[in-house]
Amino acid sequence: MKPLLDHGFATTTFNPWLVPLALIVLFGVRGVAGYIAALALVNITSNGVFRLRSDLFKHMLDARLTLFGNRSATSLTNTIVYEITSGTRQLVPTLISASRDVLTLVALLAYLLYVNWQLTLIVGLLFPAIAWVVRTVSRRLYKLTRASLGATEELAYAVEENVLAHRDVRLHGAQTIQQQRFEKLGRSLLRLQFKSRVASSALTPLTQMLAAVALSLVISIALMQSIRGEATIGDFVSFITAMLMLLTPMKHLSGVASSITNGLAALERAISLVEDTPLEKGGAYSPPAPERRARGEIRFEQVSLSYPDAARPAIDGLDLSIAPGTTVALVGASGSGKTTLVNLLPRFMEATQGRILLDGVPLPDWDLQALRNQYAFVHQHVVLFNDSIAANVALGDRHIDEARVLSSLEAANLADLVKSLPNGIHSAVGHNATQLSGGQRQRLAIARAIYKDAPILILDEATSALDTESERAVQEALERLMRNRTTIVIAHRLSTVQHADRIVTLDAGRIVESGTHKELLDRNGLYARLYKLGLHDDAE
């Protein structure tokens, strides 16, 4: 425009018809480039989210188990699924847009310097003021965003708790209390979101006000230069036009501060998941090939374990030897250390003192996966995945042996259930296996242990949810499975205790008695008292 204004439309030194042609070419190139950039942005963002989410999920699977004590399932779900998506989709497009605006800003400033460097220096005084405003508001916004993410997590956790405890909430008539609790958390989040909006909304008008002051000053000086003949009309118009064009990228850059802050706050929580929780570490030992199977000799030597802030240790100087192929039952009152003791074996917990050996090798020297391959657990609380019955039974096996799955299900007294399903072992169990009864869920866990065929069995109330008829059938299957295997039983029922080779009675993390069922009854100690209080089953 400057040549047209300075020399007119009729000059022979400049072809005015080049201007509309140049505009068409420029906008055409801009449109094609914008389309390609949009596709590239979608591809980069989507792949970035996928890769980052996959890496975080892998880290969670391999992280020390302290992670699950420090963070709830809701917190981890929000971080891996939602915060990664939110943070990346805010940050990546914003950074690309900011890069484009910075380049535009630099180009326009270079042009302004070329047209009138004195006026450009006045414009330059604007940037330190804008930088200070952006920095101050961004700090405030970052703190509010972090607080909002935490409040969102608490709100989601309240929903999760009420979904899991929906029967208890209705049974105790706690709907009103839970609704009030939810609304209190919701109002807290609402206040934080409002404060964040106030901070982010203030950024743009403050920046624009500073820009307006600078623009007014520049126009005043430019008018004086034009009146005195120090600048042509073309210089004046082109400078003011370029400066007005400067306002758009400056406005965009002031606006991206909130998006960058929100994105960084969300991604920082994901990064902290990696930085704050180291991976599990194991040794290099594995049992000899080809079986890769332990004999099953377990030894605890002066083992102690203390929880943080606990008044006394959960396990206190415990010594215990378990011979290969024997069955040992752990009994004791609630909180005596039974479950803690068995959780030390696959290194779900780490002893604070002493050492534990499997086949004479300290547990830290074992390769972690090789160590855990030696155990099959049947817990009181069964966890099933939203997958097929076969996949749940053969959990961890990449090449499922369907014949072995069927025999395991039959041994666990589930053959009739499988036959009644339209897709047999390929039928999905559904979310949290809600279509299965408690007894069926527990028998499915027993089938999983049978399929794994590990040399060491750990049974934690393995038959607690079964009716009498099913228990007899499963107990027979378990007894066959327990032959020639090291078995540790945590139980309160006579059917799984009285036939053990040895019964170990725990109290306050210490062994107070050890012997057979008859020997311990004859001693009339803690075991005998527990027995009289109802340790034996009612069907005796």
Mean pLDDT of 233-252: 75
d(CA 359, CA 348): 19
d(CA 197, CA 262): 11
Query: What CA dihedral angle connects 520, 522, 528 and 534, to 10 degrees?
Result: 100
In the numeric block, which tokens belong to residue 239?
């400078």
Burial 45-83, CB ≥16 within 10 A → b, else e = beeebeebbeebeebbeebbeeeeeebbebbbbbbbeeb
Domains of the chain: 22-276 (1.20.1560.10), 298-533 (3.40.50.300)
pLDDT of the residue at 496: 64
d(CA 530, CA 334): 11
Residue 272: alpha-carbon gap to chain centroid = 11
Is the pLDDT assigned to residue 346 strictly greater than 90? yes
User: Quick one: which of 14, 248, 13, 107 has its CA closest to 1?
Assistant: 14
Residue by residue, DSSP assigns 205-263 as HHHHHHHHHHHHHHHHHHHHHHHTTSS-HHHHHHHHHHHHHHHHHHHHHHHHHHHHHHH
H or E element: which one contains 486? strand 486-490
pLDDT of the residue at 174: 81
Q: pLDDT by residue (tens digit) across 371-391?
A: 999 999 988 778 888 889 999
d(CA 137, CA 257): 9
Is the pLDDT assigned to residue 330 strictly greater than 90? yes
Which of the two residues, 474 and 328, has the higher pLDDT score? 328
In the numeric block, which tokens belong to residue 62?
């391999």
Is the pLDDT assigned to residue 9 strictly greater than 70? no
Q: How many residues does the chain have?
A: 540
Give the up-direction half-sphere exposure of residue 492: CA atoms within 13 A in the CB hemisphere.
14
User: Quick one: which of 415, 405, 387, 412 has its CA closest to 452?
Assistant: 405
Mean pLDDT of 398-425: 90
Is the pLDDT assigned to residue 493 strictly greater than 70? no
Q: Compute how many other C-beta atoms are within 10 angstroms of the C-beta atom of residue 317.
A: 15
Q: pLDDT by residue (tens digit) across 149-171?
A: 888 888 888 888 887 777 777 77
Strand partners, 388: 428
Is the pLDDT assigned to residue 139 strictly greater than 70? yes
Mean pLDDT of 382-410: 90
Strand partners, 263: none
Output the 3-class SS for 346-378: CCCCCCCEEEEEECCEEHHHECHHHHHCCEEEE
In the numeric block, which tokens belong to residue 317?
């100087």
Lowest mean pLDDT segment, chosen from 18-27, 367-376, 427-436, 471-480: 471-480
Question: How sure is the predictor about 540, in pLDDT bands with cuts at 50, 70 and 90?
Answer: very low
Q: What is the pTM of this model?
A: 0.73
d(CA 392, CA 406): 12
